[in-house]
Structure 1
Amino acid sequence: MQLTSPKAVGIFLGVLYGISMRIVIEFSTALKFGSLVTISFMFLVPVAIGYIRVHFEYNENPNLTYRQMIVKAWQPIFIFLLVSIVTLLEGSICVAMALPAFMFFASLGGVLAGFTRRKISQKSNATLLSITLLPLALSPIELNFLHLSKTYEVTNSITINAPINIVWQQLTNVSHIEPQEIPFSLTRFIGVPRPLEANMNASGVGAIRTSTWQKGVVFKEIITDWQPNKQMLYKFEINPDLIPDNALDKHVKLGGEYFSPLNGGYRLSEDKSGNTILALTTKVQDKTNFGVYSRIWGEVIFQDFHHSLLTLMKNRAEKPLAAVISHS
Structure 2
Amino acid sequence: MLIDIIAGARPNFMKIAPIIDAIKAKQQRGSALKFRLVHTGQHYDKNMSGNFFKQLGIPEPDVNLGAGGGSQAEQTAAIMTRYEKLLMESPSELCLVVGDVTSTMACSITAQKMHIPVGHVEAGIRSGDWTMPEEINRLVTDSITNYFFTTSETANSELYSSGVAREKIFFVGNTMIDTLLKQRPRFTKPAFWDEMKLQERGYIVMTLHRPSNVDEESNLKKLIDEIIAYTRDLPLIFPVHPRTARILNETGIQHKRLFLVEPLGYLEFNYLVERSKVVVTDSGGITEETTVMGIPCMTLRSSTERPETCTIGTNELLGIQPEAIGPAFEKLFSGNWKKGGIPEKWDGKAAQRIVDILDQISTS
Q: Could you say whether these structures have the same fold, taking a TM-score greater than 0.5 normalized by the shorter chain as the test? A: no
TM-score computed with the length of structure 2 as normaliser: 0.23
TM-score computed with the length of structure 1 as normaliser: 0.24
Greater fraction of residues in strand: 1
Greater fraction of residues in helix: 1
